[in-house]
């Protein structure tokens, strides 16, 4: 029995709002979901498990129609869904009156419910969110029904406010496989008993690394997962780069270095840059051009001007600069204090150049 | 430091000019345009260098201003000075393409590297700014000028702001404030308010859409509608069948020319009557003795008629009469009468029979018609009658059933219309639900837009936070500077007060014991008896205080044992002779280093000679 397991698609989300590529990101989420569907077709998956948060918000009729259309293109794959905290079922949900195509089963119940798929020799147990949070962990005595079929559990959660999960228990549970959702970073258990597929597309700049789906196969006689692998699908990744500078680093050199690195890693990705090290006090890094030409979400400049405070202090021990250094410099300065020191020294040194 | 002599290769109007100074008071006398300021500037530039300004400022800068008039002479010169017993020769060329700077230690006969530490020692710790602000003194304001007090206050403020004049705290502060402003300009102060407003709006919308009115009851109503429709279809089917049955029944009745039960009953009783009559008439007709009687009566009537004729013909001689003993006329009359009577009876009887037969024929025809219509057979018989009765019974039953059915149909119609009503209300509810769902989707759309905006704002707020850190750092820098300058002012001010007080005591011959500068930089002079605000002091005193403060500052800012020469550039132009004499007197007394006085008046020399103060005169 071949299956594809995804979660946290967040259809309808618009990451990086305000950035020039925001629309592309919103589209990428939909495109990658469509790619999962076509993968289900080409791989001949028997079932597609979507472990919650398919939608970023309460889905509208038109969202359901879009998704349902995609599901209708894989009539021989059983699609089983549960609702997560983002697309939880509310009393006014359009979901309640939506007519899915025949291969789609949305387990809407609040408590664990088992749906049988006799033609696949498969029982799927799952439940949907009706509230923003579920503080209780899974029931201790949650066991699959006593049938000679393969048993799969679908759960959306894993943090303290959304069904705390003891992964050890999952490995020893009566279910052949637990399809998890909610955590956006992919994680596959070594014993192939459970997996977080992560979100198919990374959804914000903290979600670095590969994203995609989980593909697996369950042996119909042994009722055990025989293969389980992560397949990357995402169109772009968020990549954090730490760039070290020296007092010799100039703006153009830095620009070229980062530009080359981004080109090497792929300009379709979205980058966060963190500049570290000591810079020439006369240079302040201005990388606006980089932000315009590349997908750079954020540049955090943590560089410090290369002042030799010892030397400065020796030269200016009797004047304002000396006093200033003495007033601010100390062990373990806060970032604000450090910056204040740099700003003040910079301003004071600036005025020495001027003749009156 | 003492200036020994100088050689100008080329500087402004001078070329190849030599000038020597001596220890103590030097009066450099020259008329206007003689080059006093040039000389003054030359000394400053030899000490501190002359850089060319960049860009547009270079048009009117010192460098351009003092370029040698004779382009062939090199722009620069030499200055020999004595410091701590050593003689140094400072050589500088300012020309931008052949700039050079060298210091030669003439005592030891070698070149000295002019590094920072050496220069600091040589220049007694003065920078160019402190030099211009202290030892190099421009024109002193007239004591009669009422603005003197304000000028003095301003001077103290500048003096007090920092020990090192080069570190212009005001400028540094302005620079920092400017940077902070730049950061603040990049901030979005409205973001927080907008964020709060959005959060509020989102909360409102979320509350709104949770209202029961927006609950999705479509599935419930749809299943109700399906159920109602099913029921309705069933009822309508039954109704159809019943109506069909009624119409067939009605056709059957109509074919038999009946409308309802009553018409059947009427018809049936009519047929029954006819049949009864028919039976009676038939039995009457079939009664044979009656016809024998008629024949007998007829025969009797004929016999009587024959007898009458006989009697008539026989007349009186009627044997029969005789025989009977009755007179012949009476007999004749009698027989005739009998014959008449009998024939009347027979006629009557004939008539009767004929009518009977006619009735019978009529009835049987009617019966035949009835039977043929309802049975298809016109034979009249008891069996036919029974069949007819059965048929009528059947029709009556049918009519009864029809009536019942019609009642039933009416009931059903009511039920159907009720169901239709229910279906319609379901439809209405569903369309209302669809409308609310549509409204809900609009609201959800708006909600999504709000949330997207909020996410974007979160980024802005984050950026704001980052910028705030920068502005906080700058604010901290500003606060630190302010605090430090206050501290320095306090300590420096204290020293200044102390030194200036000493000078003033000396200058005024103990008339004033000290002076004090308060936080608002108001200067007061202390007499042993009372404190006099400077504004109330005499103009002469004000001059003394001003000079005293400058001298105090000049003393304070210089480090080391040797002091820089005090340079006055036309400083006493506004002083009258008396005051000038006094000032020069106490100047030479209080300042024990070299003093250069640039002047365009010969009176300084005259007054000094008069007061027997030694001096060296240099005429340009």
* Span B224-269, pLDDT tens digits: 999 999 999 999 999 899 889 889 888 888 888 888 888 888 888 8
Per residue in B496-542, pLDDT (tens digit) is: 777 777 777 777 767 777 777 665 556 777 776 777 777 777 777 77
Is the per-residue pLDDT at B466 higher than 60? yes
Per-residue pLDDT, B391: 85
- The share of chain B scoring above pLDDT 70, in percent, equals 88
Q: Give the model's pLDDT for residue B294.
A: 74
Find the residue in B nearest to A319 (Cα). B164
Would an 8 Å CB–CB cutoff place A288 in contact with chain B? no
Residue A68 has pLDDT above 90, yes or no: yes
pLDDT for position B95: 85
Per CB-CB distance under 8 Å, the chain B contacts of A92 are: 209-210, 214-216, 437, 440
Q: Work out the pLDDT band at B163, boundaries 50, 70, 90.
A: very low
CA triplet B364, B370, B376: central angle to 5 degrees? 110
What pLDDT band is residue B288 in, cutting at 50, 70 and 90?
A: low
Q: Does A354 touch chain B (CB under 8 A)?
A: yes
User: Which residue in B134, B452, B466 has the most chain A C-beta atoms within 10 A of its own C-beta, making it the best mutation to test that interface?
Assistant: B452
What mean pLDDT is predicted for residues A193-219? Answer: 92
The confidence score (pLDDT) of residue B505 equals 78
Which residues in chain A are closer than 8 Å to B182, comparing Cβ atoms? none
Chain B CB contacts of A327 below 8 Å: 480, 483-484
Whether the Cβ atoms of residue B133 and residue B553 lie closer than 8 Å to each other = yes
Q: What percent of chain B has pLDDT over 90?
A: 15
- Name the residue with higher pLDDT: B184 or B144: B184
Rounded Cα distance, A35 and A39, in Å: 6
d(CA B449, CA B98): 69
Q: Which of A60, A319, A341 sits opposite B167 (nearest CB)?
A: A319
Rg of chain B taking only CA atoms, in angstroms: 78
Strands A270-279 and A304-305: parallel
Q: Which residue of A has its CA nearest to B50?
A: A355
CB interface of B with A, residues 389-448, below 8 Å: 437, 440-441, 444-445, 447-448
Which band of pLDDT confidence, cut at 50, 70 and 90, is reported for residue A332?
confident
CB B80 within 8 A of CB B58: no
Give the model confidence (pLDDT) of A256-304 as tens digits.
999 999 999 998 999 999 999 988 888 888 888 888 888 898 888 888 8
- What's the whole-number mean pLDDT along residues A1-7? 94
> Taken in order B156, B158, B164, B170, is the CA torsion positive or negative?
positive
Q: What is the mean pLDDT of residues B581-605?
A: 84
Q: Which residue did the predictor score with more confidence, B495 or B411?
A: B411
**Listed range (A40-44, A113-117, B54-58) with the worst mean pLDDT:** B54-58
Torsion B79-B556-B50-A309 (CA) sign = positive
**Per-residue confidence at B291, pLDDT binned at 50, 70, 90?**
low
pLDDT tens-digit readout, B555-575: 776 766 778 888 888 877 777
Question: What gap in Å lies between CA B595 and CA A145, rounded to an integer?
Answer: 110
Looking at residue B144, its pLDDT comes to 42
Minimal C-alpha gap between B228 and chain A (Å): 19
Q: Listing from the earlier edge strand, what are the strands of the sheet with A194-196? A: A113-117, A122-126, A150-156, A177-181, A194-196, A187-188
Is residue B245 a contact partner of residue B408, using CB atoms and an 8 Å limit? Answer: no
Closest CA to A329 of A350, A356, A309: A309
Sign of CA dihedral A145, A149, A151, A152: negative
Least confident interval from A227-236, B300-309, B318-327: B318-327
CA A53 to chain B, closest CA, distance in angstroms equals: 15
- Comparing alpha-carbon positions, the chain A residue that sits nearest to B161 is A320
With bands split at pLDDT 50, 70 and 90, how would you rate the model's confidence at A319? low
- Supply the mean pLDDT for chain B: 82
- pLDDT band at B57; cut points 50, 70, 90: low
Distance CA B482, CA B488 (A): 10
Residue B547 has pLDDT above 80, yes or no: no
**Which is more confident, A11 or B164?**
A11
Cβ–Cβ contact A60 with B under 8 A: yes
Per-residue pLDDT, B283: 84
Nearest chain A residue to B61 by CA distance is A355
Phi, psi (rounded to 5 degrees) for A221: -95, -45
Low-confidence winner among A10-14, B428-432, B511-515 (lowest mean pLDDT): B511-515
CA atoms within 13 A on the CB side of B376: 2
pTM of the model: 0.62
Q: Residue A91 and residue B173: Cβ atoms within 8 Å?
A: no
């Amino acid at each position: 029995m071949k299956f594809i397991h995804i979660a946290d698609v967040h259809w309808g989300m618009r990451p990086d709002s305000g950035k020039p590529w925001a629309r592309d990101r919103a589209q990428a989420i939909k495109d990658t979901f469509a790619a999962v569907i076509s993968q289900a077709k080409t791989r001949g998956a028997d079932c597609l498990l979507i472990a919650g948060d398919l939608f970023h918000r309460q889905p509208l009729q038109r969202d359901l129609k879009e998704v349902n259309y995609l599901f209708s293109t894989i009539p021989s794959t059983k699609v089983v869904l549960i609702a997560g905290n983002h697309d939880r079922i509310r009393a006014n949900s359009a979901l309640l009156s939506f007519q899915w195509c025949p291969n789609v089963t949305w387990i809407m119940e609040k408590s664990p419910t088992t749906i049988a798929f006799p033609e696949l020799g498969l029982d799927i147990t799952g439940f949907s969110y009706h509230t923003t949070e579920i503080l209780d962990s899974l029931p201790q005595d949650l066991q699959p029904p006593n049938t000679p079929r393969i048993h799969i559990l679908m759960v959306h959660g894993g943090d303290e406010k959304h069904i705390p999960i003891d992964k050890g228990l999952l490995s020893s549970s009566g279910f052949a496989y637990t399809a998890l959702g909610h955590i956006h970073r992919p994680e596959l258990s070594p014993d192939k008993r459970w997996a977080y597929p992560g979100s198919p597309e990374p959804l914000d700049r903290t979600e670095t690394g590969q994203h995609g789906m989980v593909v697996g196969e369950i042996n119909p006689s042994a009722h055990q997962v025989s293969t389980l692998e992560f397949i990357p699908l995402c169109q772009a990744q968020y990549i954090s780069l730490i760039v070290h500078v020296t007092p010799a680093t100039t703006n153009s050199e830095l620009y070229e270095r980062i530009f080359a690195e981004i080109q090497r890693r792929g300009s379709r990705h979205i980058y966060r840059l963190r500049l570290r090290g000591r810079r020439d006090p006369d240079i302040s890094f201005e990388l606006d051009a980089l932000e315009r030409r590349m997908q750079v979400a954020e540049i955090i400049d943590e560089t410090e001007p290369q002042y030799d405070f010892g030397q400065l202090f020796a030269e200016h021990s009797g004047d304002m600069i000396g006093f200033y250094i003495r007033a601010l410099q100390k062990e373990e300065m806060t970032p604000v204090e450090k910056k204040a020191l740099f700003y003040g020294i910079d301003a004071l040194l600036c005025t020495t150049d001027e003749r009156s | 430091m003492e200036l020994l002599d100088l050689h100008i290769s080329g500087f402004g109007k001078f070329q190849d000019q030599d000038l020597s100074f001596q220890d103590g008071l030097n009066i450099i006398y020259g008329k206007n345009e003689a080059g006093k300021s040039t000389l003054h500037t030359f000394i400053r530039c030899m000490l501190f260098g002359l850089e060319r300004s960049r860009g547009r400022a270079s048009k009117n800068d010192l460098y351009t201003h003092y370029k040698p008039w004779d382009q062939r002479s090199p722009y620069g010169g030499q200055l020999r000075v004595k410091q701590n017993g050593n003689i140094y020769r400072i050589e500088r060329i300012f020309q931008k393409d052949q700039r050079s700077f060298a210091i030669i230690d003439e005592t030891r006969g070698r070149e000295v590297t002019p590094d920072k530490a050496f220069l600091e020692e040589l220049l007694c710790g003065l920078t160019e700014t402190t030099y211009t602000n202290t030892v190099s003194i421009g024109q002193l304001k007239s004591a009669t000028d009422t603005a003197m007090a304000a000028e003095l206050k301003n001077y103290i403020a500048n003096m007090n702001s920092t020990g090192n004049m080069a570190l212009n705290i005001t400028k540094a502060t302005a620079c920092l404030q400017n940077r902070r402003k730049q950061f603040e300009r990049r901030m979005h102060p409205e973001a927080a308010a907008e964020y709060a407003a959005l959060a509020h709006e989102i909360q409102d919308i979320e509350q709104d859409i949770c209202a029961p009115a927006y609950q999705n009851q479509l599935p419930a109503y749809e299943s109700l509608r399906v159920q109602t429709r099913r029921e309705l279809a069933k009822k309508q089917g039954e109704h159809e069948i019943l109506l069909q049955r009624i119409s067939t029944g009605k056709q059957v009745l109509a074919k038999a020319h009946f409308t309802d039960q009553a018409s059947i009953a009427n018809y049936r009783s009519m047929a029954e009557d006819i049949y009864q009559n028919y039976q009676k008439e038939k039995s009457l007709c079939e009664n044979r003795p009656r016809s024998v009687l008629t024949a007998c009566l007829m025969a009797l009537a004929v016999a009587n008629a024959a007898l009458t004729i006989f009697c008539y013909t026989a007349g009186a001689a009627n044997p029969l009469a005789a025989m009977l003993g009755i007179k012949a006329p009476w007999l004749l009359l009698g027989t005739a009468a009998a014959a008449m009577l009998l024939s009347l009876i027979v006629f009557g009887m004939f008539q009767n029979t004929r009518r009977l037969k006619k009735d019978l024929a009529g009835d049987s025809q009617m019966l035949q018609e009835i039977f043929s219509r309802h049975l298809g057979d016109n034979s009249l018989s008891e069996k036919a009658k029974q069949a007819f009765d059965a048929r009528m019974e059947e029709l009556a039953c049918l009519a009864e059933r029809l009536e019942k059915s019609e009642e039933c149909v009416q009931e059903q119609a009511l039920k159907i219309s009720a169901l239709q009503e229910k279906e319609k209300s379901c439809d209405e509810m569903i369309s209302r639900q669809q409308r609310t769902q549509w409204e809900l989707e609009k609201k959800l759309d708006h909600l999504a837009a709000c949330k997207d905006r909020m996410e974007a704002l979160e980024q802005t707020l984050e950026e704001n936070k980052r910028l705030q850190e920068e502005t906080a750092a700058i604010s901290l820098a500003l606060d630190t500077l302010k605090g430090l300058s206050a501290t320095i002012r306090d300590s420096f001010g204290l020293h200044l007060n102390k030194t200036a007080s000493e000078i003033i005591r000396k200058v005024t011959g103990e008339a004033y014991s000290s002076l004090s500068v308060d936080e608002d930089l108001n200067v007061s002079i202390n007499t042993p008896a009372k404190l006099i605000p400077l504004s109330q002091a005499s103009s002469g005193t004000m001059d003394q205080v001003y000079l005293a403060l400058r001298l105090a500052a000049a003393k304070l800012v210089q480090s080391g044992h040797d002091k820089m020469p005090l340079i006055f550039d036309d400083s006493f132009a506004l002083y009258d002779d008396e005051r000038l004499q006094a000032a020069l007197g106490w100047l030479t007394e209080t300042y024990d280093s070299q003093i250069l006085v640039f002047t365009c008046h010969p009176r300084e020399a005259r007054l000094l000679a008069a007061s027997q103060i030694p001096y060296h005169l240099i005429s340009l």
